[in-house]
Amino acid sequence: MERTLVLLKPDTIQRSFAGELITRFEKVGLKIVGMKMVWVNEEFSKKHYAAHIEKKFYPGLQAMITEGPVVAIVVEAPHAVSQVRKMVGGTEPKSAQPGTIRGDYAQHSYEYTDGKGISIKNLIHASGNAEEAKIEVELWFKPEEIHTYKTVHEIHVF
């Protein structure tokens, strides 16, 4: 089994469709094993986005991720990382495929956000690969915040 980190970023929470996005993950069969609401501070933003600190867009990215609470989720499935990335879609909502979360629920372009000097609002973060997922799950969740339980399918179907 593989685990991955999903963040419903402040724009998702402020637009009030956290539940709708969580439902999409549940419907596809991804198992939620950890979930909590967190208001990220600047120090934690620098840890989570360590790879981007030197980039031009980092100040806007930090302003965006610290502007309100996020919902952090750990999901589990045989191919959780690639499955979630597929559902989330490309980084830029304008060019993200229809049917993906970013393609269906957002429309920001780099051209627009760069012009305004703000971060692109793309609703969601998903770990990029298995190695990143392990680091991010450990950064966001204590071992006791991740739960082992059986879904109805595991109890009654499999």
The catalytic position among 79, 125, 147, 153 is 125
Stretch binding ligand AMP (CB under 6 A), from 10-18, 20-28, 34-42, 113-121: 113-121
The full length of the chain comes to 158
How far, in Å, CA of 104 to CA of 143, rounded?
34
How far, in Å, CA of 125 to CA of 71, rounded?
10
Give the number of residues in contact with ligand AMP, rule: CB under 6 A. Answer: 10
Residues 67, 79, 110, 145: which binds ligand AMP (CB under 6 A)? 110
Nearer to ligand AMP by C-beta: 91 or 151? 91
Nearest residue (beta carbon) to ligand AMP? 57
Q: Is 61 in the site for ligand AMP (CB under 6 A)?
A: yes
Known catalytic residue at 52? no
Q: What's the CA angle centered on 23, arms 69 and 79, to 5 degrees? A: 95
How far, in Å, CA of 106 to CA of 96, rounded?
9
How far, in Å, CA of 145 to CA of 140, rounded?
10
What are the residue numbers of the active site?
125
| Interface ranges with ligand AMP (CB under 6 A) | 52, 57, 61, 91, 110, 113, 119-120, 122, 125
